[in-house]
Structure 1
């Protein structure tokens, strides 16, 4: 056990769980139409999806978008309908870090931009998520990174100041906002690089990910 070490806070999408909306949309309309839809700056899928991450309901989101962009009506509903196809499995290396930290008694939190309506899909599919002491889901809090309010929600849920807690996220603007909130935040590039960041901070991790599964590894999704 390592009770003197600060908690570690993980972003989820493309840090612990691979995510790509293209396969979900393509499942209904094909690769070419999915690519065209996602590349359309007028629609701006990222901003549209972010609103759901911040608490907007999917029924409203699809209704409004389908009125404004009738040419994309099929693409708009395809993402939620085939959402599981956007979840590409856990990221090798990051899951091992989570499990090693958990085994060492480090408190673990997740802070994720994710729709409240769709987060249950991930909880059912990825056993590793149940190792976290708490998961702050933006859609449930109705505020999303990089809004300072979501970092305040993390502090409230953790029951302690954020200073010293290590936070990792693949989006630089979220990392910058986390640093403003007093987290020890790093940009995620690769699991090996993050492992090195944690080792440098004194966390009890092996220099490299285990070559054999730890005893409680589930089968990869």
Structure 2
């Protein structure tokens, strides 16, 4: 049994830009001010729903702790599809090539349960994945080792038989620590070379 490939989605297959969704609600200047704010960590805020927190609860906490940023947080959720800019250049071609060669592929994404359904509606390439583990659905998010371990029953393979691709080095390091072959995504050309180096037909 050859290796299967597990893909992160955001900024690997799908170009995600949170500022576009926020700007759709409050304007570009306010979106930039919000994302650069010293008193609010948007990435940590977004990680809550990515880990299974309900969006209503996440926004209620902002209303309590940072009411001046509530409109900005609500804009992100309300206009979320605007954050999905398009395919990351070149990576969908790799998915299609692997699919054509019969290599099984899956997704492992930090994405909220509520907002994930926008992705398969907007990006046909995701239909080539056999399954996608969505962190917000599972209540576990990368780099928590437990979310990688869900790949074993979902793929029917040991972690050592999987190649994991992610743009965040901390997520890749967590995968490697569990025995997966981990590749840090920096661009499709470099990834193609890395996959070939592992014997994959791209």
Short-chain TM bin? over 0.9
Higher helix share: 2
Aligned with 1:182: secondary structure?
Answer: coil
The structure 1 segments of at least 4 consecutive aligned residues displaced by more than 2 Å after TM superposition are none
Q: Which one of the candidate residues 39, 43, 56 is aligned to 1:42? A: 39
Q: Name the TM-score, length of structure 1 as normaliser.
A: 0.89
Q: Which one of the candidate residues 135, 139, 145 is aligned to 1:138? A: 135
CA distance in 1, matches of 2:70, 2:3: 47
- Greater CA drift, 4-13 or 49-58: 4-13
Is the aligned partner of 1:114 residue 2:111?
Answer: yes
CA distance in 2, matches of 1:178, 1:90: 24
Residue of structure 2 in register with 1:54 after alignment: 51
Residue of structure 2 in register with 1:152 after alignment: 149
Q: Which one of the candidate residues 175, 185, 190 is aligned to 2:187? A: 190
Shift of 1:50: 0.4
Q: How does 1:2-17 map to 2 (within 5 A)?
A: 4-17=1-14
Residue of structure 2 in register with 1:171 after alignment: 168
Shift of 1:159: 1.8
Is the aligned partner of 1:203 residue 2:200?
Answer: yes
Kept after mapping to 2: 8 A contact 1:138/1:145:
yes
